[in-house]
Amino acid sequence: MDECIFCKIASHSIPAYVVSENDEVMAFADINPATKGHILVIPKSHATNLFDIEEASFIKVLSLAKRIARVMPEVLGCSGINLFHSAGKIAWQEVMHFHLHIVPRYRREELQRPFVSTPANKTELKEIALRLSRKLSNK
């Protein structure tokens, strides 16, 4: 993907503050961090989002994210971690190359939740769970 900025980073065509990499995955500092130490983890081969990343590649990205997250409290002094992925523009995905955000969380920070949780209708929850369960059983 010639226009994909993360593909350019993965191929070392443009610079990045690389934390870790191997032949298949790479982790680097987000240049517009939500908090100090915000890291992105990507597959080196292009996949747009969760819907089209290969299972093996996804597992490798997740494994590297876990390794990085485990050392963040000691290295950065954070008290917690947010790990997230946005799939599609409606879900705030800005770069159309699969990536996981590892966002260190610190006491007394101003970072806000991206959504407000509200109590759900139990009938609706039951229906959603049943529909998803049926679809998964058919696969």
pLDDT of 121: 93
What does pLDDT average to over the chain?
A: 93
CB 107 within 8 A of CB 79: yes
CATH of the domain at 114: 3.30.428.10
pLDDT bin (cut points 50, 70, 90) of residue 139 is low
For 29-83, write each residue's pLDDT tens digit.
Answer: 999 999 999 999 999 999 999 999 999 999 999 999 999 999 999 999 999 999 9
Catalytic residues: 99
Burial of 9 (0-12, 13-18, 19+ CB in 10 A): buried
pLDDT of 110: 75
The stretch 103-120 carries a mean pLDDT of 83
The stretch 8-16 carries a mean pLDDT of 97
Chain-centre distance for alpha carbon 125: 26
Domain count, the chain: 1
pLDDT of 118: 84
The stretch 73-102 carries a mean pLDDT of 95
Question: What is the spatial distance between Cα 102 and Cα 132, in angstroms, rounded to a whole number?
Answer: 28
CB 72 within 8 A of CB 102: yes
Of 29-33, 98-102, 131-135, which range is least confident? Answer: 131-135
Give the Å distances, CA to CA, from 6 to 18, 31, 97: 12, 12, 7
Q: Where in the sequence is the domain holding 106, given as residue range(s)?
A: 5-137
Amino acid at 15: P
Question: What is the spatial distance between Cα 11 and Cα 16, in angstroms, rounded to a whole number?
Answer: 11
The stretch 94-99 carries a mean pLDDT of 97
CB 35 within 8 A of CB 109: yes
pLDDT of 1: 60
Q: How far apart are the first and last CA of the chain?
A: 31
